[in-house]
């Protein structure tokens, strides 16, 4: 190794010693932060994400400002099921995603009459609501690529009664776990 004429006898250039820790620090940051960001991105895009309940349309089961984890995996293997609480984003509706319950499935006839929901002419058992549905909805068949969704608090919910069937591609995922406030931690039912 050639001797540096400005720094004979193995003395290090102070710029080199100062530059190495800086380069090492930047390298450490990139090796730690970049993979962490990639992992967070992948999880958020494909597996799960956090969301917040906005409004009272899902009371008495979910309340304003509760925080939820949405799982995105199961709907890659099967379509939503009746009773699932889903998070959806309608393309023509600005603002945060909506949280609703799947009531009508593809190919089923949905009707609301005298305060009750009927699926294929049969009264739907809705143990999760504590009030009648104070509107009517003429019998309508859910298209193969869609679902009929309702809020649990029917008096204060904008749902398929107002914006129509929801295409399955607009469903982000299933509300899975409630993590805030701490007194309400648990799985969403």
Per-residue pLDDT of the chain (189 residues; tens, 9 = 90+): 555 555 555 555 554 555 567 777 777 777 787 777 777 676 666 667 888 899 999 999 999 999 999 999 999 899 999 999 999 999 988 888 999 999 999 999 999 998 899 999 999 999 999 888 878 889 999 999 999 999 999 988 999 999 999 999 999 999 999 999 988 899 988
Instruction: List, in sequence order, the alpha helices (H) in 5-133.
Output: 14-42
- Any idea which residue has 């956090």 for tokens? 50
Q: What predicted TM-score, i.e. pTM, was given to this entire model?
A: 0.77
Neighbours of 157 (CB within 10 A): 23
- How many residues are recorded in the chain? 189
The residues, ordered by sequence, that sit 6+ positions from 49 with a Cβ below 8 Å of its Cβ are 43, 69, 70, 72, 172, 173
* Residues that are catalytic: 57, 100
Q: How far is the C-alpha of 36 from the C-alpha of 102, rounded, in Å?
A: 35
Q: If you count DSSP H runs as helices and E runs as strands, how many of each does the chain have, helices first? A: 2, 12
Alpha-helix runs per DSSP H in the chain? 14-42, 160-163
């Amino acid at each position: 190794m050639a001797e540096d004429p400005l720094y004979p006898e193995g003395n290090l250039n102070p710029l080199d010693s100062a530059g190495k820790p800086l380069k090492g620090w930047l390298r450490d940051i990139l090796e730690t932060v970049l993979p962490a960001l990639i992992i967070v991105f992948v999880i958020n895009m494909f597996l799960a994400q956090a969301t917040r309940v906005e409004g009272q349309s899902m009371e008495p089961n979910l309340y304003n400002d509760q925080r939820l984890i949405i799982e995105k995996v199961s709907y890659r293997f099967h379509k939503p099921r009746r009773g699932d609480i889903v998070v959806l984003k309608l393309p023509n509706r600005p603002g945060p995603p909506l949280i609703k319950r799947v009531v009508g499935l593809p190919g089923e006839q949905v009707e609301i009459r005298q305060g009750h929901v009927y699926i294929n002419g049969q009264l739907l058992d809705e143990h999760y609501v504590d009030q009648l549905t104070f509107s009517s909805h003429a019998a309508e068949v859910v298209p193969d690529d869609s679902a009929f969704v309702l809020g649990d608090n029917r008096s204060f919910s904008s749902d398929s009664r107002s914006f129509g069937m929801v295409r399955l591609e607009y469903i982000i995922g299933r509300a899975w776990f409630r993590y805030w406030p701490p007194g309400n931690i648990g799985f969403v039912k």
